[in-house]
């Protein structure tokens, strides 16, 4: 409360000082005042301000020769027309008359004076200190204006403690929407937030990512540049150069020459100019003077359609101008209203009474001197702005209409406080010449922008509407074919620091700006996500990508499928071997007591055939997708089965050597061997040793199905882990030792009787076994593909087939094709020949 009181004391002192130095020798012009039941205030820049040094807090005298502002004049007349139409209406405020107090706000001091005058009480012309501001009733209920952000912020701050509605027709800065600071502020011009978003979308539309940014001194330009820089940077647009045109800038001065030099040195083709009209004029006069051409200029709504700018001599040579403009609206009857005003007899200004102090800025002598031929022409830009002032008047009228309960046809006139009217204005929703007028929670209108391009193709300047932007969210809809670009062949100019990279190439920033980069291809196994062009992303575990890719591809899962031709051949061969083993077992069982079967080992042959059959059965585990049972059994069962076969083969060869060569020389050893069943014991111990190795292998280095990703970047290899384990190597080495033992025993028996001499066949089969596994390991060292299990199976199948072919096939041949050799007499004769031969040697 103390703070509020202190503010009000300051306001009272300020208005007293301003009033003391603001007295004028003439009364306010009748055009600036209109009596009524309820008064509105209008703040319009009928004259331009001038730079001057002041030593006292006095109000600038606006009505000066040569400073008339045509644009402000049209706004002034739009409000007068709006009030007149409302007073003549039988439906809007039917029995209520609106009045107004209009002020020329050519400077900041004139704006402050007008604001304080608005807050003053009727009669005494001062602000009365009150504890309850809700009961404060100044002479004016609402204020229309002012035009710029700086002045609107000052006025809004002064009016906010009283919650007096302030509806600006030209202040677009986003900061004014902060309700904690400016609770009574509304506007009929779109918020710069949407203008900035529209500009950024426009830059994105043409892929301009390297721009220069120029603003004007003051809240409008500086805050606009700040917001545009932030949003552009967030959207990947870089600012090559940024500067502010100072308030005191003059064409050709050192400051502007330096700005032009920097703009020319910047490599950006696109320049965004977020400026008010006066400083935009200075800027473009400097651009023309510096002969800065061949660029694209993106204009803010404040100057894009202003003839004050298009009238700069030589401006048609600067390049292409695109911009954001308020959607064109017209005030019906405004031109006729101004013509009638020019024709009317306004009389001479009346002197101020000695007993009063007259306002210094409620006079416009040039306005009063207008004729139908000398009156300002109403142009497109001024008409759109005038419509915003006109719309603000109607918004106040509709709010007052609701507050006074005029819906019944008769208004209940009574005291109205500004805060009550503010509540109703926030709720208005009506059609004004097919245009919906309403405000959001921030006091911003629901409007949109036009996107326009300057057109110099004819003898005079004009503009082309390319499309529009709507919100929210902000969306852009433009027809690019309507643009006449300044370059050759009407091509869209480029404005980039570095050209886009090829697909799958990441951007490596060189310098401070992310828009300046080198292109480096993404490595294999990585890809470039379009959401992040500066970093290659790794592919997922089940994906792959070649070098320079912008997407990942699913890896192909490979294994030795049963449906492949290779698999069919191997399956058929293995099945044939298994059938031969079974057939041989049946043949041997049928001829079990024949000399051939007995010499081959008798019943031991069935163990050998069974072990070969077990090894053959294990080979089926190499087909199809690896499973846990298949991985556990296929190598271990093969190793154990082949161990049993080699053990039997070794002990069979060794036993023949003992019988024919060492039974007489070492009878004790032979007797112990026979009595203790040495052959069976050797097979059991040898097989048990391999079984122990296999069990240790399965427990410690358990073979499991695995998905292998490292070998091939684009494949997932489904395989078992046995080949990498120590258990597999031990089992294989053990079988290698048994093979060498069997080979040695067979070789020692090369001179045995013919029917017992198996050295040639067994030696050949064991050599083939060695060659098969050497070929497998050689292939495995250079090939890791999906067919490696097939090579492994082929090696195993070769080993089993060589064992079967070298040992059993000759005997099957004798049984089936040479029965004459399968007799006791033939075998005895063979032994007798061997004995005679040994005796002779």
Instruction: State residue 390's pLDDT score.
Output: 97
Q: Which helix (H) or strand (E) holds 234?
A: helix 219-234
Pairing of strands 429-432, 435-438: antiparallel
- Cα 259 from Cα 275, distance rounded (Å): 15
- pLDDT tens across 243-298, in order? 999 988 999 899 999 999 999 999 899 999 999 988 999 999 999 999 999 999 99
* Residue 111 scores a pLDDT above 90: yes
Least confident of 478-487, 528-537, 754-763: 754-763
**End-to-end CA separation in angstroms for the chain:** 139
Q: Which of 589, 593, 591, 635 is nearest to 609 (CA)?
A: 589
For CA atoms 750, 751, 757, 760, the dihedral sign is positive
Phi, psi of 82 (to 5 degrees): -60, -45
Contact (Cβ atoms closer than 8 angstroms) between residue 100 and residue 33: yes
pLDDT tens figures, 678-704: 778 888 998 899 899 999 988 888 888
- How far apart, in Å, are the Cα atoms of 168 and each of 365, 442, 719? 26, 13, 77
At 816, is the secondary structure helix, strand, or coil? helix
Q: Could you tell me if 504 and 522 are in contact, meaning their C-beta atoms sit under 8 angstroms apart?
A: yes
d(Cα 841, Cα 839) in Å, to the nearest integer? Answer: 5
Q: Provide CB contacts within 8 A for 461, sequence distance 6+.
A: 307, 310, 316, 454, 455
Instruction: Using pLDDT thresholds of 50, 70 and 90, give the confidence band for residue 670.
Output: low
The helix/strand/coil state of 585 is helix
Whether 9 shows a pLDDT value over 90: the answer reads no
Using alpha carbons only, give the angle 312, 315, 321 rounded to the nearest 5 degrees: 120
Q: Of 589 and 675, which is predicted with more confidence?
A: 589
The pair of structure tokens assigned to 419 is 């805060």
Q: How far apart are CA 12 and CA 119, in angstroms?
A: 10
* C-alpha dist (Å) from residue 387 to 35, 75, 548, 806, 824: 23, 8, 56, 109, 130
Please give the Cα distance from 148 to 125 (Å, whole number).
26
Q: Which residues are 362's β-sheet partners?
A: none
Looking at 658-787, list the stretches that DSSP marks H as alpha helix, in order from N- to C-terminal side.
667-675, 678-700, 726-748, 759-782
> What residues have CB less than 8 Å from 774, skipping those under 6 apart?
none
User: Does residue 644 carry a pLDDT above 70?
Assistant: yes
Q: ∠ CA(413), CA(416), CA(418), 5° rounding? A: 150
The pLDDT value given to residue 750:
60
Eight-state DSSP code of residue 756: G
- DSSP of 25-87, one letter per residue? SBPPPGGGEE--SEEEEEEE--B-------SS--------TT-B-HHHHHHHHHHHHHHHHHH
What are residue 735's phi and psi, to 5 degrees? -65, -35
Angle between helices 108-119 and 149-159 (to 10 degrees): 30
Cβ atoms of residues 400 and 407 within 8 Å: no
Cβ-contact 355, 331 below 8 angstroms = no
d(CA 45, CA 108): 11
Q: For 35, what's the count of Cα atoms within 13 Å in the CB-facing half-sphere?
A: 1
Better pLDDT: 158 or 785: 158
CB 29 within 8 A of CB 349: yes
CA 634 to chain centre: 51
> What residue has token string 């499973």?
627
Query: Reading across the β-sheet that carries 705-708, which strands appear in turn?
Result: 556-558, 715-720, 705-708
Band the pLDDT of 322: cuts 50, 70, 90. very high
Pair type for strands 553-554 and 543-544 = antiparallel
- Residue 591 pLDDT: 85
Amino acid 221: pLDDT? 92
Q: Which residues contact 490 (CB under 8 A, 6 or more apart)?
A: 484
Q: Kindly report the average pLDDT of the chain as a whole number.
A: 85
pLDDT tens figures, 790-840: 898 899 999 898 888 888 888 888 888 887 776 666 666 665 565 566 555
Q: Which has the closest alpha carbon to 720: 611, 560, 542, 556?
A: 560
CB of 141 within 8 A of CB of 165? yes
Report the distance separating Cα 602 and Cα 552, nearest Å.
Answer: 64
- Say what the pLDDT of residue 597 is: 83
User: With contact defined as beta carbons under 8 Å apart, do 413 and 37 qualify?
Assistant: yes
Residue 489: is its pLDDT beyond 50?
yes
DSSP, res 702:
-
Query: Where does residue 689 rank: exposed (0-12), middle (13-18), buried (19+ CB within 10 A)?
Result: middle
Phi then psi for residue 181, to 5 deg, are -95, -40
Cα–Cα distance for residue pair 545/523, rounded to 1 Å: 8
Identify which of 729, 746, 732 has the alpha carbon closest to the alpha carbon of residue 803: 746
User: What's residue 387's pLDDT?
Assistant: 95
pLDDT of residue 470: 82
Phi, psi of 430 (to 5 degrees): -145, 165
Are 201 and 474 in contact, with CB atoms under 8 Å apart? yes
- Look at residues 305, 462, 452 and name the one whose alpha carbon lies nearest to residue 384: 305
pLDDT reported for residue 347: 64
Residue 427: pLDDT band by 50, 70, 90 thresholds? very high
d(CA 482, CA 816) in angstroms, rounded, equals 99
Cα separation, 396 vs 439, whole angstroms: 12
CB count, 10 Å around CB of 761?
Answer: 18
H/E stretch holding 448 reads none
Going by their DSSP bridges, the two strands 462-470 and 449-455 should be labelled as antiparallel
Query: For the residues 748-759, what does the mean pLDDT come to?
Result: 58
- Name the helix (H) or strand (E) containing 791: helix 788-807
DSSP output for 95-139: T--EEEEEEE--SHHHHHHHHHHHHSPTTT-SPPP-S-GGG---S
Beta bridge partners of 526: 538
151: helix, strand or coil: helix
Query: Which residues have a Cβ under 8 Å from the Cβ of 524 and sit 6 or more positions away?
Result: 544, 545, 546, 547, 713
CB atoms within 10 A of CB 595: 19
Residue 234: Cβ within 10 Å count: 9
Supply the pTM of this predicted model: 0.66
Please report which confidence band the pLDDT of residue 356 belongs to, taking 50, 70 and 90 as the band edges.
Answer: very low
pLDDT at position 8 over 50 = no
Name the pairing type of β-strands 517-521 and 526-528. Answer: unpaired
> What pLDDT score was predicted for residue 660?
60
Contact by Cβ (8 Å): 116, 361: no
Residue-level pLDDT at 681? 87
Confidence of residue 124 (pLDDT cuts 50, 70, 90): low
């Amino acid at each position: 409360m103390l703070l509020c009181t202190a503010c009000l004391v300051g306001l009272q002192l300020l208005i007293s000082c301003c009033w003391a130095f603001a007295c004028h020798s003439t009364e306010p012009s009748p055009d600036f005042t209109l009596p009524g039941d309820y008064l509105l205030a209008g703040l319009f820049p009928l004259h331009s301000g001038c730079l001057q040094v002041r030593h006292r807090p006095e109000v600038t005298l606006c009505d000066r020769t040569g400073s008339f502002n045509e644009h402000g004049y049209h706004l002034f007349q739009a409000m007068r027309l709006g009030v007149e139409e409302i007073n003549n209406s039988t439906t809007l405020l039917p029995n209520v008359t609106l009045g107004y107090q209009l002020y020329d706000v050519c400077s900041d001091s004139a704006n402050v004076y007008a604001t304080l005058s608005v807050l003053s009480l009727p009669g005494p012309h001062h602000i009365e200190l009150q504890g309850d501001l809700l009961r404060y009733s100044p002479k004016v209920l609402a204020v229309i204006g002012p035009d710029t952000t700086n002045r609107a912020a000052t006025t809004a701050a002064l009016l906010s403690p009283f919650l007096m509605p302030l509806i600006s027709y030209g202040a677009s800065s986003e900061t004014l929407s902060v309700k904690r600071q400016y609770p009574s502020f509304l506007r009929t011009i779109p918020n710069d937030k949407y203008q900035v978003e529209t500009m950024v979308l426009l830059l994105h539309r043409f892929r301009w990512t390297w721009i220069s940014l120029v603003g004007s001194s003051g809240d409008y330009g500086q805050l606009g540049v700040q917001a545009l820089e932030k949003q552009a940077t967030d959207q990947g647009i870089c600012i090559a150069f940024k500067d502010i045109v100072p308030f005191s800038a003059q064409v050709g001065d050192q400051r502007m020459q330096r700005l032009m030099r920097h703009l020319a040195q910047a490599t950006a083709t696109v320049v965004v100019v977020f400026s008010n009209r006066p400083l935009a004029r200075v800027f473009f006069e400097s651009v023309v003077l510096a002969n800065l051409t061949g660029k694209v200029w993106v204009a803010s709504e404040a100057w894009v359609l202003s003839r004050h700018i298009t009238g700069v001599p030589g401006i048609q040579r600067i390049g292409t101008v695109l911009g954001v403009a308020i959607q064109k609206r017209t005030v019906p009857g405004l031109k006729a209203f101004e013509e009638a005003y020019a024709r009317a007899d306004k009389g001479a200004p009346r002197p101020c009474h000695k007993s009063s102090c007259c306002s210094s800025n409620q006079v416009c002598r040039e306005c009063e001197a207008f004729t139908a031929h000398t009156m300002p022409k109403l142009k497109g830009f001024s008409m759109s702005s005038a419509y915003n002032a006109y719309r603000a008047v109607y918004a106040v009228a509709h709010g007052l209409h609701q507050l006074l309960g005029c819906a019944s046809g008769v208004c209940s006139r009574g005291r109205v406080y500004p805060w009550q009217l503010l509540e109703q204005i926030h709720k208005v929703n009506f059609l004004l010449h097919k245009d919906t007028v309403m405000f959001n929670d921030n006091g911003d209108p629901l409007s949109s922008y036009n996107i326009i391009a300057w057109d110099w193709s004819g003898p005079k300047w004009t503009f082309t509407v390319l499309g529009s932007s709507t919100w929210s969210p902000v969306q852009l809809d433009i027809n690019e074919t309507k643009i006449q670009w300044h370059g050759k062949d009407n091509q869209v100019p480029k404005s980039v620091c570095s050209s886009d990279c090829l697909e799958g190439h990441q951007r490596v920033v060189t310098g401070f700006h992310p828009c300046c980069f080198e292109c480096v291809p993404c490595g294999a196994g990585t890809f470039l996500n379009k959401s992040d062009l500066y970093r290659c992303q790794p592919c997922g575990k089940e994906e792959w990508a070649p070098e320079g890719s912008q997407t990942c591809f699913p890896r192909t899962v490979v294994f030795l499928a049963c449906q492949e031709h290779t698999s069919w051949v191997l399956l058929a061969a293995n099945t044939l071997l298994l059938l031969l083993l079974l057939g041989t077992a049946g043949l041997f069982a049928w001829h079990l007591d024949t000399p051939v079967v007995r010499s081959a080992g008798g019943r031991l042959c069935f163990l050998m055939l069974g072990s070969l059959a077990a090894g053959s059965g294990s080979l089926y585990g190499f087909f199809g997708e690896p499973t846990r049972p298949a991985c556990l059994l296929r190598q271990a069962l093969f190793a154990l089965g082949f161990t049993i076969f080699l053990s039997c083969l070794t002990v069979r060869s060794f036993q023949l050597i003992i019988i024919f060569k060492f039974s007489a020389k070492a009878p004790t050893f032979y007797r112990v061997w026979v009595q203790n069943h040495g052959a069976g014991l050797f097979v059991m111990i040898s097989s048990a040793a391999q079984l122990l190795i296999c069990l240790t292998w399965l427990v410690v280095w358990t073979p499991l199905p695995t998905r292998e990703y490292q070998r091939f970047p684009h494949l997932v290899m489904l395989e078992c882990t046995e080949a990498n384990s120590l258990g597999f190597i031990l089992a294989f080495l053990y079988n290698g030792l048994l093979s060498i033992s069997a080979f040695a025993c067979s070789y020692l028996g090369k001179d045995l009787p013919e029917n017992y001499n198996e050295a040639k066949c067994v030696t050949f089969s064991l050599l083939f076994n060695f060659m098969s596994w050497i070929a497998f390991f050689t292939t495995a060292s250079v090939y890791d593909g999906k067919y490696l299990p097939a090579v492994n199976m082929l090696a195993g199948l070769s080993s089993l087939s060589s064992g079967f072919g070298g040992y059993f096939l000759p005997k099957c041949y004798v049984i089936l094709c040479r029965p004459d050799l399968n007799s006791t007499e033939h075998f005895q004769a063979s032994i007798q020949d061997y004995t005679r031969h040994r005796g002779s040697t």
